[in-house]
Structure 1
Amino acid sequence: MALASKLAQLQSKATQASQFVAKNGPAYYKQLLEQNKQYIQDPPTIEKCNLLSKQLFYTRLASIPGRCETLSKEVDYVKHMWKNRKELKIEDAGIATLFGLECFAWFCGGEIIGRGFTFTGYHV
């Protein structure tokens, strides 16, 4: 019986959300486009979209050496901190722990998403 009431409650909330989006969606869409009109290409042709896509891809590709250099610096910093771990402050250890937990949480989230939002890996 509890499952049926939860389902009815969920349907009611979904209906409310759908009504809210139907009522406020177009105004939000227009406002969003107006606020970001400097980023909109005119005319929005397929050729222009393809050009922008290629520009984004190759710009990101060109940024890889800089990202690798930054990563190398970060790894060197971590190595230095590890060598001098006796001098490590509790704040630094706390920040490192929180960073590790955040990475683990992102990993777990990615795993769940990769399995189709299931926790066991089994889905119907």
Structure 2
Amino acid sequence: MPNVILDIASLPKSQSKIASAHANQFTSLLSNVRLKLEEPNNQYKLKADAHQRENIFRPRELVFVRLRRERLPPGRHLKLTKKKWSPFPISKRINKNTYMWTYQQNLILPAHIMLILPTHLMLLISTVIFHRMTVQSILNM
């Protein structure tokens, strides 16, 4: 038993030249619109990527790590608690933006690191802020 009247109707075996021309014109129109939309998007991407800084770290390089609150050991986490943790050596580079690093035993291994900073930048900042600390004491932490 047919569900719809079109199930009974016999459809022509040949294609209409007008219909195929219309379909080809419509697909070419859609591809042109897609290209016109991709051009400004690529320009926006180039301008946005110009402001991005690419951080590529090598193994045995020291980095400061910024962790989320839920990745820290249990306890109170106030807004004045430490946000960037002492320098950790990178043990392995997995891909362009993923690294394995050795961590302290009391930290939970993070599933997502919010920010990694090279040590030399943080050392410059920390020596200005904490003028009593020497670079050697920061590295020994």
Say which structure is richer in helix.
1
Q: When you count strand as a share of all residues, which structure comes out higher? A: 2
TM-score, with length taken from structure 2:
0.27
Q: With a CA cutoff of 8 Å and minimum separation of 6, indicate the structure with the bigger relative contact order.
A: 2
